[in-house]
């Protein structure tokens, strides 16, 4: 973060789906905040003393803190784009088999594929290597290999005075002051078909609360995934049908 300009970070984040709503036909979407120099000049319009961008702000932005805000949908889109390297766009299917138009082909993102390989390897290690922060959230079926990333959104900073009094465990805080728990993931690792984002309000930590919930969601999805079912043998189907008639 210290070596990369904030505007470059914002440009890449926008390509991954952050800082924007999506055309889903439903109201209430938020674009979130994707900080950049231009954003700060606009946000602090009329207060020139606050318009300069500082390196310390970049350090906060790079981990998703500071001015950054995003929605669970944006996090899921970001994860799908990292998993595929393509400009995946979300849509809502209200009735199975009643889709007005097929999805538009997702073109490749203007990002070096080698960068995606590094990020994917890290997400794989998070869930599938001992010591990874989401080791407990891995899926036991090797064909469903899950890659993910834990996260924590700070709600309240414990003060030095509180630490001096021995307040160091987030569980000692009132619920409304506990951090939010986040987890994003996709599966299968080698041929991704599903992406998921879970946010647990005041869940303290991603590995603790959000990861296990995402694991169970993905387990259910992969269990029902048509690609996970054995192919039908028409001879077996015919024999079964014949016995049923008898």
27-41, 113-127, 147-161: least confident range: 147-161
Average pLDDT (22-31) is 88
Specify the pLDDT at position 236. 58
Report the C-alpha gap between 52 and 186 in whole angstroms. Answer: 38
Q: Which residue has the higher pLDDT, 87 or 98?
A: 87
In sequence order, the 6+-apart residues with CB closer than 8 A to the CB of 8 are none
Band of the pLDDT at 188, cuts 50, 70, 90?
A: very high
Give the tens place of pLDDT for each residue, 234-244: 665 556 555 54
43-57, 89-103, 167-181, 203-217: least confident range: 89-103
Res. 176: pLDDT tops 80: yes
Residue 134 to residues 29, 131, 186: CA-CA distances in angstroms?
29, 8, 13
Place of tokens 């440009």: 11
Specify the pLDDT at position 96. 64
Q: Which residue has the higher pLDDT, 160 or 145?
A: 145
pLDDT > 70: percent of the chain: 88
Specify the pLDDT at position 91. 86
Band of the pLDDT at 121, cuts 50, 70, 90?
A: very high
Average pLDDT (114-132) is 97
Half-sphere exposure of 202 (CA within 13 A, CB side): 9
Report the C-alpha gap between 138 and 15 in whole angstroms. Answer: 28
Look up the pTM and report it: 0.86
**What is the overall mean pLDDT for the chain?**
89
Specify the pLDDT at position 182. 97
Report the C-alpha gap between 140 and 127 in whole angstroms. Answer: 11
């Amino acid at each position: 973060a210290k070596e990369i300009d904030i505007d470059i970070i914002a440009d890449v984040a926008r390509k991954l789906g952050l800082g924007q709503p999506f055309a889903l036909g439903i109201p209430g979407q938020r674009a979130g905040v994707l900080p950049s120099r231009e954003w700060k000049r606009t946000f602090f319009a009329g207060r020139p003393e606050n318009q300069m961008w500082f390196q310390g702000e970049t350090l906060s932005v790079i981990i998703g803190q500071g001015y950054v805000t995003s929605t669970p949908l944006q996090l899921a889109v970001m994860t799908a784009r990292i998993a595929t390297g393509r400009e995946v766009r979300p849509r809502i299917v209200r009735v199975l088999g009643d889709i007005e138009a097929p999805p538009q082909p997702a073109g490749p993102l203007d990002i070096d594929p080698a960068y995606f390989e590094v990020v994917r390897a890290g997400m794989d290690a998070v869930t599938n290597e001992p010591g990874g922060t989401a080791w407990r959230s891995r899926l036991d079926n090797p064909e469903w290999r899950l890659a993910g990333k834990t996260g924590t959104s700070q709600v309240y900073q414990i003060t030095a005075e509180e630490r001096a009094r021995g307040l160091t465990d987030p569980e000692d805080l009132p619920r409304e002051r506990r951090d939010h728990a986040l987890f994003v993931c996709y599966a299968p690792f080698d041929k991704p078909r599903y992406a998921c984002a879970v946010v647990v309000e005041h869940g303290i930590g991603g590995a603790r609360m959000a990861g296990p919930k995402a694991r169970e969601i993905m387990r259910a999805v992969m269990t029902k995934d048509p690609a996970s079912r054995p192919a039908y043998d028409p001879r077996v189907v015919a024999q079964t049908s014949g016995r049923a008639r008898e």
